Chains A and B, each alone.
Chain A
Amino acid sequence: MSDDPHVRTTVLIVDDHAPFRAAARRMLEADGFEVVGEAGDAASGLRLARDLSPDLVLLDVVLPDLSGFEVADRLADEPPAVVLVSSRDRADFGRRLRDSPALGFVSKDRLSGRRLRALQARSR
């Protein structure tokens, strides 16, 4: 991750819902992010996270093979910062969210470049 505004933050989107991936990619790219990859399940998400070394992983909580919490646990010791996303809200996950090593949580409908940057800034 770079502080240089001309160096775009690289993002990997892991979500089993293709329309969301497409919409999120367009929105983030419009907001100056570089979406370097998309994955529809946890296994390929984990693989791409290691192969592509993105700055951020947008990780859906509900995936067909593993839950987003488990994926976040596995990525805890690796460079990409994980932001969990879901169409449900924070209150629906309770303590699992609190206990997760993920950088943060954003409801999908409130996803924006501004929020991601705020989370990134907070982690520094």
Chain B
Amino acid sequence: MRPIFLALVPAGAALTVLAWEVEMDSLHTADGRLFVQVAAAASFLGCGLLAWWRRPTNRLGPLMVATGFALLMRHLRYSHDALAFTLFFLFGELGFALVLHSSLAYPAGRTRDQAERWLVRAGYAIAFALPIAILMLHDVRDPLIQFGSLHRKSDILVSREAHAVELLQKSFAVAFYGVLAAIFVALVVRRVAASKPGLRPILAPLTVAAAAVGLWGAHECVLTFADGSRAETPLFWAQAVALLLLPTALLAGLLRARRARPSVGDLVVELERTPPQGLRDALSRGLGDPKLELGFWLPERRAFADFHGRPFTLPDSESDRAMTRLEHDGEPLAVLVHDPSLLDEPDVIEAAAAAARLALENARLGAELHAQLDKVKESRARIVAATDAERRRIERDIHDGAQQRLVALALELRSAQLRLAPANPEVEQVLAAAVDDLQAAVDELRELARGVHPAILTEEGLAAALESLVIRAPLPVTLEDAPEQRLATEVEAAAYFVACEGLANVAKHADANAATVSARIEGATLVVVVVDNGVGNARANGGSGLRGLADRVEAVGGRLSVDSPTTGGTRIEARIPCGS
């Protein structure tokens, strides 16, 4: 409960009692008329507070509370005290102006157009201006219309002008209760007539307001111009009952509209979590409009489309649907086609629009991000594929070029050795040494070529390449499992390098005396595991080459995990999608 309510409730109650007391003091008898008037004012106060509490952002609540206070204050003008009379004669007419304002502010909490605003301003101006003029000319010895035999002293008397006071009082009645009331009724009729059928139930309280204001105005005119007329009593009761009903009607209308829709906050939170394909349904639920439609702007087509890309037709001027366009940075984003009654709750539709804009923008950014990420992944895969192709080419070049020449040279030297040896043992020795050196060079070149890219992997596949790898390993390695079928080149390459780099790490850092390698297919994933019994404590992000290996595996859409406790042993596992 907000502090302001804690202050307003006792203030309202006190003012109600005071109004009752002042009236009783001047009338000396409790009557039904007084009761119903005070009850109407108190009802404005109570309903206004409820409306304010339940819908804090809507100005209708505060306006109704002010109306209740003003209506109660009107009774204080009958006080015997000159200051109280002067003060509340001046403020007493505010009640009617506030009834006009509250009613026109229903249900959105604000007036809708220039004509309504003009009427409200004119109401306040007349409610202040004419009573001031009247009191400046009113003398205690003269009667006042509506005060009967009660004589009241004005504290701001300037000059006694009884005739002018009567004229002013009558002019006030005509202008305020006649003309303004008539314009008000006309504006209500206009608003109801202009509304679409779907909107009308929500405007029902306005018809109560038109009845109350019209009857109140008529009653005031009768009191002013034809006091004692037989029409006065029924008119009084008619307007009193209408006024008594009005705050309840306004509150009920407001809460009905509110019940049908979640709070703005709920809507924003729900829409933030909603994927674009669920946005229409979420908005429809949130705004209480089952027929709500949502069109997305397609910049390339310069047109709206539904979520599935089908053309989206905007309602024409004959349609009974309303339309709210959502924009972002001046560019169209989407369009909402909804019940026109939502236009009377601009804060709700604005919040929905903002949330939808946020959700759409999120979706757009998400899609953009995914597209960019996909591009990066694709380019990484392409880079790895290109690198592999280049490695294969280099290996082939070494094999077909330098290696062949050295091999031929070794054979030539051996021929020479065979021919010259019997005659010259010294030459034979030199040649034998040369052949040995050449063989060492060929071995090194072969090792280099194999490191660049093992030909056996290309020619015979992963199982053969892993067999060859474990045979050449500098420690005892067991190959536990290897897939017999051929897999995609990049998958075989990544898997081979996991095993190769994994074993190289074992040899370099692990201080192990045994290791196992396995590669097996689990569903659509090739799982490559290298395990050693070494010292452990290897880190994927350390300088052990495991980071590069992880990059290599991730480039083909896989994941590398390293389990290497300080207590010893290392297990490297790569899971590579292989689509088989």
Interface size class of A (residues with CB under 8 A): 20 to 34
Question: Taking the complex as formed, is B554 at the interface, i.e. its CB lies under 8 A from any CB of chain A?
Answer: no
- Whole-angstrom distance between the alpha carbons of A21 and B465 in the complex? 29
Query: Do B450 and A92 touch across chains, with their CB atoms under 8 A apart?
Result: yes
A interface residue numbers (CB < 8 A to B):
17, 19-20, 22-24, 26-27, 30-31, 87-89, 91-96, 107-113
Interface size class of B (residues with CB under 8 A): 20 to 34
Question: B406: which A residues are within 8 A, CB to CB?
Answer: 109
Question: B460: which A residues are within 8 A, CB to CB?
Answer: 93-96
Question: A20: which B residues are within 8 A, CB to CB?
Answer: 404, 407-408, 411
Question: B410: which A residues are within 8 A, CB to CB?
Answer: 108-109
Question: Taking the complex as formed, is B403 at the interface, i.e. its CB lies under 8 A from any CB of chain A?
Answer: yes
Stretch at the interface among B111-119, B154-162, B318-326, B438-446: B438-446
- Whole-angstrom distance between the alpha carbons of A85 and B333 in the complex? 71
Closest 8 CB pairs of A and B: A23-B411, A30-B418, A27-B415, A94-B464, A108-B407, A109-B442, A23-B408, A26-B415
Query: Do B471 and A91 touch across chains, with their CB atoms under 8 A apart?
Result: yes
Provide the main secondary structure of the chain A interface: helix
Choose from B418, B438, B442, B456 the contact partner of A87 (Cβ within 8 Å): B442
- Whole-angstrom distance between the alpha carbons of A61 and B443 in the complex? 18
Question: B456: which A residues are within 8 A, CB to CB?
Answer: 91-94
Query: Do A26 and B411 touch across chains, with their CB atoms under 8 A apart?
Result: yes
Question: A108: which B residues are within 8 A, CB to CB?
Answer: 407, 410-411
Chain A's closest residue to B454 (CB) is A92
B interface residue numbers (CB < 8 A to A):
399, 403-412, 414-415, 418-419, 438-439, 442-443, 446, 450, 454-456, 460, 464-465, 467-468, 471-472
Query: Do A19 and B408 touch across chains, with their CB atoms under 8 A apart?
Result: yes
Chain A's closest residue to B446 (CB) is A89
Query: Do A95 and B411 touch across chains, with their CB atoms under 8 A apart?
Result: no
Give min CB distance, A11 to chain B, whole Å.
13
* CB-defined A-B contacts under 8 Å, sample of 16: A19-B408, A20-B407, A22-B408, A27-B414, A30-B415, A87-B446, A92-B454, A92-B456, A94-B456, A94-B464, A94-B465, A95-B464, A107-B442, A108-B407, A111-B414, A113-B418
- Whole-angstrom distance between the alpha carbons of A113 and B415 in the complex? 10
- Whole-angstrom distance between the alpha carbons of A24 and B411 in the complex? 6
Question: B419: which A residues are within 8 A, CB to CB?
Answer: 30
Known: A88-B455, A94-B464. A27 touches B411 (CB 8 A): yes
Known: A94-B468, A95-B467. A27 touches B404 (CB 8 A): no
Query: Do A87 and B455 touch across chains, with their CB atoms under 8 A apart?
Result: no
- Whole-angstrom distance between the alpha carbons of A6 and B455 in the complex? 42
- Whole-angstrom distance between the alpha carbons of A88 and B414 in the complex? 19
Q: Which residue, B411, B443, B472, has most C-beta atoms of chain A within 10 A?
A: B411
Chain B's closest residue to A95 (CB) is B464
Choose from B404, B412, B467 the contact partner of A26 (Cβ within 8 Å): B412
